[in-house]
Structures are given as structure tokens and as C-alpha cells.
Chains A and B, each alone.
Chain A
Amino acid sequence: MKLKKTVITGLAIAATLGAAPAFSAGEQFIGLTSYRVGPYAAGGSGIFGGLIDYMSLVNARDGGINGVKLVWEECETEYNNARGVECYERLKTKGPTGNTVVHPLSTGITYSLIDKATADKIPIISLGYGRTDATDGSVFPYVFPLVTNYWSQNTAKIKFIGMKEGGMDKLKGKKIVNIYHDSAYGKETIPVLDVQAKKYGFSVTHVPVAHPGNEQQSQWLQVRQIKPDWVILRGWGVMNPTALKSAAKIGFPREKIVGVWWSGAEEDTIPAGSAAKGFIAAGFNVAGANYPVIKDIQKFVYAKGNGNMEDKSRVGSVYYNRGVVHGILTVEAIRTAQEKFGKGKPITGEQMRWGIEHLNVDAKKLKALGAEGFMPDLKVTCSDHEGSGKVKFQQWDGKKWNVITDWIDADQSIVRPMIEESAAKYAKEKGIKPRDCSKES
């Protein structure tokens, strides 16, 4: 009997894997490689919740993009590279025109998909993570680290610190400690910090924290020995609240800690309680529900009971709003592509790539979208797949994030040569012949 059951179950598995849900012809399909379980579930559910809600808003309020409804399907990756690849392959051919665009939302999965997506002609949008040198669109035609990357953000941080000190020349002789998550992600900004340290004459000490970072006594005691003027926190997950708590333990002022955007969400500060008060983090999107676009989501999606968030109070949180930024850029890129390849028709991945590469969301457009001040304006080109590089700094007041600066530009004079050098090295390793961007239309 057992044997028979096993055989039947096996057949059932095969049958279900083979069956594909049907999508109708006039729809634009977007495959979502999401994760809602495990240690990063808070980020995953927030960002994908925001993205899905924005797409629902476009469908409900505007009836889609020029009449083309957006449809999507989620696939659980558990933040695991192998599962991510499986999800990508599973979603790739669904919908009338196949998957339009991938948001891996994991640096590891992004890396694993670069070759595959390029071969399949499906663009990857890696907003605020992934391969920094993919900013060089001549080598990475299908990868878009939109808005800003880690290196740009790091130069903006140093600019911010300079601002606080009263000018970039005041940085000379200052001491900065870079506390980083001891992983590929954490190590990424070390070279760019070293370059800036040389340029501006401050000293920088890199202090690694072993994954997952739930113990940081020794690192912060080292910080106390060094007595730095500023600490840059390049944290991830539980490492962030622990860092803030440990800073409080040695009495280091949190106003002097500047975090990356993966350190700057409510999820990073609330667990630290009062120890987080005063902490500053960079971000390419701001927190808050007082923007017209979020209000529209409340009105058109949540008021009708269609919202994706299980916890409605998270609408307007940093992660959620980041998801909305994902949504805005995806939708605008589809719109751009439709303008070129025919309105009211679903576009293919290849056409989407053109759309993202010609994406131009200026201040006027942001205003029309109800996202003025919510995210920076950006203009993507063939050679610049980032498009903006601007960040705002927010400070935690114990209850919520408050914006304390306007958009601060990255120092492209430092970042761009490093990106080109790194991209060229990659091109050489993989035998890629970079496109000539002056000939692209």
C-alpha cells in the first residue's frame, strides 16, 4: 500500500508541477521571487507588499497601464540562491509575453541570475543591492541597480559627515570606524571608503562583525578604544539593533552613527528601544504615509480590502515605501516601453529593457505620481544604469524616522572610475565585449 501511495504522490507532484495557471492575452505578467519566511521575512514581506500594493493601485485606479492590466505571481525563495534560480526559471515563461522583469531582492540571487537573465533577455532591477559595477550598462545591458548603489551611497554618507562637521576640509584628521557585516555584502564598501580616506585625510578602521551579529561586545569595546568621531554601520538584520544597543552600552552617541539603508528601517530601530534614539541612516526612499501615492493606496486598495500587508500599520514604513518605489519604477518603465513599442499592448522582456534604459522620472513626473520628496528623480541611460545616486538622511526620534536632509548627491568623480574599472575586469573575465553606448538609441 505504502508503495502505491508513494507512486501516486509522485505522479501528483509531477502533474502539479506541469500545470500552469492561465493568464489572458492582454495582460502584463510580472514574476515575483519573494521571500516571506526566515530571518529576512520582515524585509521581504514589506518590500513585496509595497510593490504588489502599488501594482494593485495602478490596476484599480487607472485600469492598468494604458489599459494593460498588471498580473503577477509570487514564488517563495526563502532567500536561498538555489530556490531563487528555480523560481526564476519557473516564472520565466508565464504570462502572454513571459516574465517582464525580475526583482530578486537578494544580492546572492541577483548574482546567480545575471547570466541567465541576460541570455533570456529579461531585465533585472536590483534596487539598492546587487552588483554595484552593473551600473556600467555597457557591460551589463540587462542589469539595473536603479536609483543608487552602495558605493554612491557611501560617498553621500561621507558628504553628510562633512556637512555635519562644517565642510569637507574639516574631515582631515577625523577618525571613522566602519562596522560591517562580515560577508560579501558588508565588505563591498571597504575600497571606496579607503579611497575617500586618502582624498579627505581622515582615518578609517574596518571592524567586521561575524554573521548573524547578535553579539558585538568585542567590536564596540574596540570602538571605545579607537574613540572615533563617527561610526558607519553597514549592518544587516539583527546586527543593527544589536549594534545600537552595544553602542549605548559603551556610551557612544547614536547621533554619530550613520547607517546604510539596510540599517535604516523601523525593524532595525524598534528592537533596540531607547538605545536607537538619534541614530541616522541613509535611504533612497523616506518613511511616512503622508504622501499622495500612499494615500491613494489606502483609498483605492486598502479601503476595498485588497491590500497585501497583513499588518496594516506597516503601510508607510521604510520597507513598505521601498516596495512602492519598486512599483513606481517598474510601472513607469513599462509605460516608457509601451510608448515606443505600442500602447495598450503587453511588452516583452527585451522591450522592457529598452523601457528601463530610457526611464526618465523627473521632478514634474514625480509630482504627478504623488511621490514628490518620496524618492529621488532619476534618468537612466545606456552607460548609467543607476540614474540618480541621491539619498536622504533620516534620523530616528524614538518613535519614527524623520528626514533631516534634502537629497544628497553621490560623488561620481570617485565612484564612476571604480565602477568602470570593476566592470571592465568582469568583462575581461567573462569575455564580454562592452556595447558602445554612443551608438545606442
Chain B
Amino acid sequence: MQFFFEVLIGGLLSGVMYSLVALGFVLIYKASGVFNFAQGAMVFFAALTFVGLMQDYNLPFWLAMLVALGAMVMLGILTERIVLRPLVNQPPITLFMATIGLTFFIEGMAQGFWGANVRGLDLGIEDVPIEWLAERYGIFTSKFDIFSAAIAGILVAVLAIFFQRTKVGRALRAVADDHQAALAVGIPLQQIWRIVWGVAGFVALVAGMLWGARNGVQFALTFVALKALPVLILGGFESIPGAIVGGLIIGASEKLAEVYIGPFVGGGIESWFPYVLALLFLLVRPEGLFGEKHIDRV
């Protein structure tokens, strides 16, 4: 039983890490209806820029983070200007493909500029078990994972406040609800998009720093996007709470499945299990956990 809880807690904490990446997808989808596949590449680029600035240019932590954030915001603004604006009103699949093109571009840019080296990132929090928890309950839970979960929690809280309490946030929600109505009441659509891409860049930076500290800053960071996709379909593309809850469910269930079902079928099922789980879930609720229900009319 204790082992079960250990797996469960580990899974939930990993799930938070998935949510962090999924959040970036949700923000952009919500505001502009674009399924931004480049989010994974943005995570990689953000983390690499941050580490590169610290290691190659000897910038202090906060300055590096600020400059990296600036780079991400710039990237967001340029994307809006160069890629999205000319593609307004195109079918979603065209926009989706454009973001895959963007993915290649960002990946090439990241490795072209900073080199192919794999870099370490130390945020100063050790990735070791919390001692009192290990001693008292025999459950091994990493300090770093708890820290990451806390950061993710704070991030969601900040975003929630930003969306609910500020003027920009209200405008964002209005755009998300109905582009044309928002335009009609005088909300500057393109400015909102720039803000959203900037915020998504910020989320990518945070996710990149945490994932980078976990696994090293390297190209494989782009793969974390694949972990975020089942979270998205489970939680719904348009819901921030959905991304969190979906992440927790996916994280916990994939770990439990790997440990308890894996041995019977040869293991390594983590690659597809979240997708099948999300698929089965969709059969019951086609718009995800918190997604908006669409009614088709002829």
C-alpha cells in the first residue's frame, strides 16, 4: 500500500509538470483558436536561451531570466506579426501546420545559435528525497518535485488572477468567447494576441527551466509537448483548470499503469497509455473534462 502511494504521489507530481507545458497550449488555443504545436520548441528555446546567457555570457540568474523572457516575448510578437496575421481566417489545420513549420524554425534557431551541446541547469534545489517523509512513512518524494509543483500552483494562481481581475484579462476572455463580438466592442484583437503569445512564452520559460533542471537542457525538451497532448484532450483545449486536473490524472494513471499493468504486457506502455486513456475518456465526453460543448446546427 505504501508503494502504491509512492507511485501515486510520484505520478501526481509528474502530472503537474505535464500541466505546466499543457498550460501554454491552452492559453494560445483559448485566445486565438490556434493549436500551437511549437510550444514544445518554445520550451526548449526558452530554457536554452536562459542557460546559454548564464553560462556563455555570465549573466546573473535574474538578469538571464529577464533577457530570456524578453526574447520569448519578442518571439511571440514576431510570430503574431509574421505567421498568424497573414493566416487569419484560414482553416485550423493550415494554422496548425504553420506552427509545425515554426517548430522547425525555432529548433534550428535554438541549436544553430547556442550549439548542440547538452547543458546542465542547477536551480539550487536538490533533487533528493525529503528525509522526514522517507523516515516516518517510508515514502520517497523529491524536494525538487514538490518545489516544481509549488511553482506550477503559483503560476496557475497568477494566471487566474490575471484573467479574472485585470482589464487585459477581461479582454482576453472576451476574445476567447467570441472574436467578432470582442472586435465590435473595441477590443484590439491583435494586441491581445501579442499579449497571449507573450504570456505563453513566459509559461514556456518557466516550464523550460523546471524541465531543464530535471533532465538537462537539451533537444529532448521539445518532446515534453508530447506528454502535454493527452493532458490537453483529457482536460479540454480551452480550460486552464482542465490542464491542471488533466495533468494530475494523466500523471498518476500512467505511472500506476506502468507499475501495475506494464509487467503483464512487457512494459514501456507509458508512450501510448495516456493517449488511449484520453481516447477512452473522449468516447464518453467528446469535448474533454472542462471543454466547451459545441452544438452543431445544420
Residues of A that sit less than 8 Å from B by CB:
36-42, 44-45, 182, 206-212, 214-215, 217-219, 221-222, 224-225, 237-238, 241-242, 245, 248-251, 266-268, 270-275, 310-311, 314
* Distance of A207 Cα from B258 Cα, bound (Å): 10
Known: A37-B107, A215-B14, A248-B127. A271 touches B7 (CB 8 A): no
* Distance of A322 Cα from B140 Cα, bound (Å): 38
User: Inside 8 A of A36's CB, which chain B residues have their CB?
Assistant: 116
* Distance of A367 Cα from B216 Cα, bound (Å): 38
* Distance of A270 Cα from B122 Cα, bound (Å): 10
CB distance from A372 to the nearest CB of B (A): 29
User: Inside 8 A of B6's CB, which chain A residues have their CB?
Assistant: 221
Decide: A271 and B111 in contact? CB cutoff 8 A.
Answer: no
Contact partner of A217 (CB less than 8 A), chosen from B134, B217, B255, is: B255
Prevailing SS type, chain A contact patch: helix
Known: A215-B270, A218-B262. A245 touches B214 (CB 8 A): yes
Q: Is B129 in the interface zone, CB < 8 Å from A?
A: yes
Q: Is B36 in the interface zone, CB < 8 Å from A?
A: no
User: Inside 8 A of B117's CB, which chain A residues have their CB?
Assistant: 42, 267, 311, 314
Chain B, residues 33-50, CB within 8 Å of chain A (1/0): the string is 000000000000000000
Q: Is B75 in the interface zone, CB < 8 Å from A?
A: no
* Distance of A238 Cα from B219 Cα, bound (Å): 9
Q: Is B115 in the interface zone, CB < 8 Å from A?
A: yes
**Interface size band for B:** 35 or more
Known: A182-B268, A245-B215. A273 touches B129 (CB 8 A): no
Decide: A42 and B140 in contact? CB cutoff 8 A.
Answer: no
Known: A37-B107, A210-B270, A250-B140. A238 touches B216 (CB 8 A): yes
Known: A41-B219, A214-B215, A267-B118. A249 touches B140 (CB 8 A): yes
User: Inside 8 A of A248's CB, which chain B residues have their CB?
Assistant: 127-128
Determine which residue in B117, B215, B254, B266 has the highest number of CB atoms from chain A within 10 A of its CB, and name it. B215
* Distance of A332 Cα from B122 Cα, bound (Å): 43
* Distance of A42 Cα from B258 Cα, bound (Å): 30
Decide: A38 and B10 in contact? CB cutoff 8 A.
Answer: no
User: Inside 8 A of A251's CB, which chain B residues have their CB?
Assistant: 128-129, 134, 140
Q: Is B101 in the interface zone, CB < 8 Å from A?
A: no
User: Inside 8 A of A238's CB, which chain B residues have their CB?
Assistant: 215-216, 218, 220, 223
24 A-B residue contacts at CB 8 Å? Answer: A37-B111, A39-B220, A41-B116, A42-B117, A45-B115, A206-B267, A209-B268, A210-B271, A214-B224, A215-B14, A217-B14, A217-B255, A218-B270, A221-B7, A237-B218, A238-B215, A238-B223, A241-B118, A242-B214, A245-B215, A249-B128, A267-B218, A270-B119, A271-B121
User: Inside 8 A of A215's CB, which chain B residues have their CB?
Assistant: 14, 227, 270
Known: A42-B117, A238-B216. A218 touches B129 (CB 8 A): no
Decide: B216 and A39 in contact? CB cutoff 8 A.
Answer: no
Decide: B10 and A217 in contact? CB cutoff 8 A.
Answer: yes
* Distance of A241 Cα from B121 Cα, bound (Å): 12
User: Inside 8 A of A219's CB, which chain B residues have their CB?
Assistant: 258
Determine which residue in A207, A242, A267, A271 has the highest number of CB atoms from chain B within 10 A of its CB, and name it. A271
User: Inside 8 A of A268's CB, which chain B residues have their CB?
Assistant: 118
Decide: A241 and B219 in contact? CB cutoff 8 A.
Answer: no
Decide: A208 and B120 in contact? CB cutoff 8 A.
Answer: no
Closest to B216 in A: A271
User: Inside 8 A of B264's CB, which chain A residues have their CB?
Assistant: none
User: Inside 8 A of B118's CB, which chain A residues have their CB?
Assistant: 42, 241, 266-268, 270-271
Closest to B255 in A: A218
Known: A242-B214, A270-B120. A182 touches B271 (CB 8 A): yes
Decide: B140 and A210 in contact? CB cutoff 8 A.
Answer: no
User: Inside 8 A of A311's CB, which chain B residues have their CB?
Assistant: 115, 117
User: Inside 8 A of B268's CB, which chain A residues have their CB?
Assistant: 182, 208-210
User: Inside 8 A of B119's CB, which chain A residues have their CB?
Assistant: 270-271
CB distance from B261 to the nearest CB of A (A): 11
Known: A241-B215, A248-B128. A222 touches B259 (CB 8 A): yes
User: Inside 8 A of A267's CB, which chain B residues have their CB?
Assistant: 117-118, 218
Decide: A218 and B218 in contact? CB cutoff 8 A.
Answer: no
User: Inside 8 A of B255's CB, which chain A residues have their CB?
Assistant: 217-218, 221
Closest to B220 in A: A238
3 closest A-B pairs by CB: A271-B216, A238-B220, A182-B268
Q: Is B132 in the interface zone, CB < 8 Å from A?
A: no
Chain B, residues 191-202, CB within 8 Å of chain A (1/0): the string is 000000000000
Q: Is B269 in the interface zone, CB < 8 Å from A?
A: yes
Closest to B142 in A: A249
CB distance from A322 to the nearest CB of B (A): 15
User: Inside 8 A of A209's CB, which chain B residues have their CB?
Assistant: 268
* Distance of A215 Cα from B214 Cα, bound (Å): 10
User: Inside 8 A of B120's CB, which chain A residues have their CB?
Assistant: 270-273
Q: Is B108 in the interface zone, CB < 8 Å from A?
A: yes
User: Inside 8 A of A275's CB, which chain B residues have their CB?
Assistant: 127
Chain B, residues 95-126, CB within 8 Å of chain A (1/0): the string is 00000000000011001000111111110001
Q: Is B76 in the interface zone, CB < 8 Å from A?
A: no
User: Inside 8 A of B217's CB, which chain A residues have their CB?
Assistant: 271
* Distance of A211 Cα from B272 Cα, bound (Å): 10
Closest to B211 in A: A214
Chain B, residues 204-229, CB within 8 Å of chain A (1/0): the string is 00000001001111111011100100
CB distance from B37 to the nearest CB of A (A): 16
Decide: B127 and A39 in contact? CB cutoff 8 A.
Answer: no
Q: Is B11 in the interface zone, CB < 8 Å from A?
A: yes
* Distance of A274 Cα from B107 Cα, bound (Å): 28
CB distance from B83 to the nearest CB of A (A): 20
